[in-house]
Amino acid sequence: MLLYMKKGLFLVLLLCFIGVYSCSDDIGHQINGQWQLKTVDENGVSTKVDTIFYSFQRGSIFSFTTLVNENEAWISYGYVNVLSDNQLLISMDTTKNADGNYQIITHNFKELSGWNNLYNTFMVESIDGKNMVLSSEGKIYSFKKH
């Protein structure tokens, strides 16, 4: 009887642990998925965007997708590091091929992203299941979960 109680207690504790982990409120868990960039606000000017997507996988892989037209998209890849409860560092993969060109960053990434570098630190201003707001270098990026 005591053996069954121990097994039962172990299963209850295991299920509780899995439930807490899967419903985590940490940023690494909340950002998972694809987010469509809707607006970029800078110096009081809001620019609407609908062709750029930020994708986060498992809180460590990042992709930046630009829709060129209905049949073509440019994708650049990088990594995301959760620095704190409300801060992310995104670094693009700067691996180069034999010609010296970046293997998985589009040639005009900085122009398309509006970033000054191939890495950027973002503050997470707000996030829920449908919307996310990030800020960096005086810009506010508003996203909708896609």
Q: Digits of tens for pLDDT over the chain (146 positions)?
A: 544 444 444 444 444 444 434 445 677 789 999 999 999 999 999 999 989 999 999 878 999 999 988 899 999 999 999 999 899 999 999 999 999 999 999 988 999 999 999 999 999 999 998 999 999 999 999 999 98
* pTM for the full predicted model: 0.79
Task: Give the single-character DSSP code of 12.
Answer: H
* pLDDT value at residue 88: 94
CA distances from 102 to 54, 59, 67 (A): 19, 23, 20
User: What is the number of residues in the chain?
Assistant: 146
81 within 8 A of 94, measured Cβ to Cβ? no
106 within 8 A of 93, measured Cβ to Cβ? no
* pLDDT value at residue 107: 82
Rounded CA-CA distance 73/52 in Å is 10
* pLDDT value at residue 131: 97
